Amino acid sequence: MNAAVWLSGVRKIYPEKGGYLAMTGQFKGKVALVTGAGAGIGRASTIAFAKEGASVVVGDVATESGNETAEMIKKNGGEAIFVKTDVSRANDVEMLVKNTVASYGRLDYAINNAGVEGKTATIADYAEQDWDRIIDINLKGVWLCMKYEIPAMLKHGGGAIVNVASIAGVVGFQGMPAYTASKFGVIGLTKVAALDYARANIRVNSVSPGIIHTAMVDRLVATNPEMEPSLVARTPMGRMAQPEEIASVIVWLCSDAASFVTGHNMVADGAYTAQ
């Protein structure tokens, strides 16, 4: 797709890129927690929630980038705090949720986005310590987040959770056994949580992004410069997505417009997995 044509479409959605569709303020008085919010989809999501009027809690293991996200929101008139969090550690996640409630009195939306890609290797050559690290962050981390987020939501009548999976949770990715297994697990865990709390007014969905222009993709491409054109070529829309495009999906899943949507894995991949 011609870059100018694509950008004109993005401008219709994102006012900060010169577009004309204003935010609705639909989350005014609400509180959103986002993990892995120091960059990429997590940062884009915090900004999107803040623009819709929510107070935002930025969770990330990286202090500098996490604080930077919170400051970006505050400088633009939003409300945000940063809480350093390693999602693979129960104590960290518990404190993240406690700080959220202590600061803002409630928790309405949780975006469990923190994740890492890990090393690439075949299954037989994959190191156990690398496997454990990926599973601990990407899968156990999502479970721990929901374990502490859900009780906080129940105290105030419900909420909405979006777990960030991947197209690697829909189709296999060669050389990425732990990452792929973790993302398949996130989708399964999402469905179980949706069933567990369907009558408690907590909706739980996942989003599976395709090839997104983030630091994670940049790291993968850096190890193999031929990967980027190959990934773009395999995406029928002919381009990578921007983090803001996934953030808009996440916001919709949390909104009242998606009030009957739960247990769903929404694929946003430019038709990558439709082939």
- Number of neighbouring beta carbons within 10 Å of residue 69: 27
Alpha-carbon distance of 165 to 206, in angstroms, equals 6
Interval 99-108: pLDDT, tens: 999 999 999 9
Give yes or no: 14 in active site.
no
The predicted structure's pLDDT at residue 172: 94
For residues 238 and 182, give the distance between their C-alpha atoms in angstroms, rounded to a whole number. 27
Q: CATH number of the domain that 135 lies in?
A: 3.40.50.720
What rounded mean pLDDT belongs to the chain?
91
275 in any annotated domain: no
> Hey, which bits of the chain come out as E strands?
31-35, 55-60, 80-84, 109-112, 159-164, 202-209, 265-268
For the cut 60, the answer to whether the pLDDT of residue 188 exceeds it is yes
The closest of 202, 219, 212 to 249, measured between CA atoms, is 212
Residue 171's domain spans which residues?
Answer: 26-268
**Is residue 7 in some structural domain?**
no
Of 109, 126, 148, 179, which residue is the catalytic one?
179
Helix (H) or strand (E) holding 74: helix 63-75
pLDDT tens digits for range 45-62: 999 999 999 999 999 999
Whether 17 is in a domain gets the answer no
CA atoms within 13 Å, Cβ hemisphere of 35 = 31
CB 23 within 8 A of CB 45: no
Please indicate, yes or no, if residue 98 is contained in any of the structural domains.
Answer: yes
Provide the 10 A C-beta neighbour count for residue 12. 12
**What is the model's pTM?**
0.90
9 found inside a domain: no
Residue 203 lies in a domain: yes
Report DSSP letters for 181-234, one per residue.
HHHHHHHHHHHHHHHHHGGGTEEEEEEEE-SB-SHHHHHHHHH-TTHHHHHHHH
Whether 197 shows a pLDDT value over 80: the answer reads: yes
Q: What is the pLDDT of residues 142-174, one digit of tens each?
A: 999 999 999 999 999 999 999 999 999 999 999
Name the domain count of the chain: 1
User: C-alpha angle with apex 33: 117 to 92, nearest 5 degrees?
Assistant: 70
